[in-house]
Amino acid sequence: MKATPSTVLSPRETAFLVRQRVARLATADASGVPHNVPVCFAHDGRDLYVALDEKPKDVPATRLKRVRNVLENPNVTLVADRYSEDWSLLAFLMVRGRAEILEPETDEHRAAVRLLRGKYHQYENMRIEENPVIAVRPERAASWGALDASPGGGRPLLDGVRGRRSVREYLPLEVPESVVDEVLEAARWAPSPHGRQPWRFAVVTRRETKKHLADAMGEEWRRNLKMDGKDAEVVEKRLKGSRRRLLDAPVLVLLCLFLENLDDYPDETRQANETMMAVQSLGAAAQNALLAAYDLGLDAGWMCAPLFCPEKVVEALGLDTSLVPHALLTLGYAAGDPPKRRSRRPLDELVVYRER
């Protein structure tokens, strides 16, 4: 389900809202007695959706106070805010509107569940599809403060490492250029051989450029898949999926290897190792970018397609031939369930030598 952009929230307000992980939902009963609770929520660019999850409760989801209030009085307020000891970073957004209860097995309920699972990986293993969802239809919005500032929040690094996941479907919401720059700033600080930073980044946001790039790579993808013996139907299905990932992602970041500033060696072995160090550092830059994107409230994916057709990519974007495209990072806000994350081997299986 692709929602039309909100006419109530400005682009800045929308960008701030989708980056927040928690908000406060205020409801009132028929007599006006208020009730306010923190909630996890998702925003599709127009409406907001609040899950009724599996946290232990003494009553069924349909008997929760916020649900009973909505049924009696649909007028609600949702507030998302950021506090910082640096008061120049304070910000809040208040959205007023009317709420309704979405019952399971309806199209909008299913779309809302996909959206919520796309934002919160914890919902992947919860049966939130069995409970109703609160939908909020915004009617008015008021905001204040540094909406464009980084969310920050001091989230521990391991939280980002474990929480990050690869996303293939994005909402049609613009990602602020300042946020993209913060992602690239994190990549810039990756370790590299001799501190030479042997990589360059190309940022693509225009749909016509994405289409040109997808067309150029599609020719090579089709040829490679046919070489693998794939039948025509499978080839076209996979090409369609890859093309959609490129066109629908709000931002593409092309990661290119740049070897001209590295050390020169007279023997092939050391020169190959020098190149390998550069490739390793490119992976570190990509990981920095992915973790920064997660910390900033973005979702991301990693595509290795440029590695198989670097000349086509260079030609499509008019890049310098000294650049060697290796990967594409897609950036945006998840529109639905990401693919189920692959299980990780236990640590004891991965540590092959340890001195005690």
CATH class of 11-149: mainly beta
Average pLDDT, the chain: 89
**CA-to-CA distance for 222 and 308, rounded, in angstroms?**
12
DSSP structure class, residue 86: S
pTM of the model: 0.77
Task: Read off the pLDDT of residues 59-93 as tens digits, 9 standing for 90 and up.
Answer: 677 789 999 999 999 999 999 999 887 888 899 99
Reply yes or no on whether the pLDDT at 221 is more than 90. no
pLDDT confidence bin for 237, thresholds 50/70/90 = confident
Match 């290897």 to its residue by tokens.
257
Reply yes or no on whether the pLDDT at 168 is more than 70. yes
Reply yes or no on whether the pLDDT at 151 is more than 60. no
Assigned CATH topology for domain 163-332: NADH Oxidase (3.40.109)
- pLDDT average, residue stretch 142-161: 74
Please return the burial class of 35, using the count of CB atoms within 10 Å of its CB with bins 0-12, 13-18 and 19+: middle
Percent share of the chain, pLDDT over 90: 64
Looking at residue 211, its pLDDT comes to 94
Residue 342 or 39, more confident: 39
Reply yes or no on whether the pLDDT at 95 is more than 80. yes
- pLDDT average, residue stretch 159-181: 87
pLDDT confidence bin for 154, thresholds 50/70/90 = very low
Query: Is the CB of residue 325 less than 8 Å from the CB of residue 314?
Result: yes
Annotated domain spans of the chain: 11-149, 163-332
pLDDT confidence bin for 110, thresholds 50/70/90 = very high
Sheet holding 23-28, edge to edge: 34-39, 23-28, 75-82, 91-102, 133-145, 48-51, 41-43
